[in-house]
Amino acid sequence: FVCHANNCGRVFKRAEHLRRHIRCVHSLDRPYACPVKDCGKRFSRSDNLNQHIKTHK
């Protein structure tokens, strides 16, 4: 499965991995916002947000 977004060309063995890649890398949709005041960072995946929150501790 090849990513054709923005001439990316990245290859995946599974369609679900291609879909995740497109959502995380090529989409501007970032529904997960950091709850720390004045941080403002947003993420496409909840696990990335959870990892980021650790940087505030």
The pLDDT assigned to 33 comes to: 98
Q: Would you state the torsion angle of the CA atoms of residues 49, 51, 56, 57, taken in this order, to the nearest 10 degrees? A: 140
C-alpha 44/C-alpha 30 separation (Å) is 4
The pLDDT assigned to 34 comes to: 98
**11 SS3 class:** strand
What is the tens place of the pLDDT at every residue in 3-48? 999 999 999 999 999 999 998 899 889 999 999 999 999 999 999 9
Name residues whose C-beta falls within 8 Å of residue 18's C-beta, 6 or more positions apart in sequence.
Answer: 1, 2, 3, 12
> Which residues is 43 bridged to in the sheet?
32
The pLDDT assigned to 32 comes to: 97
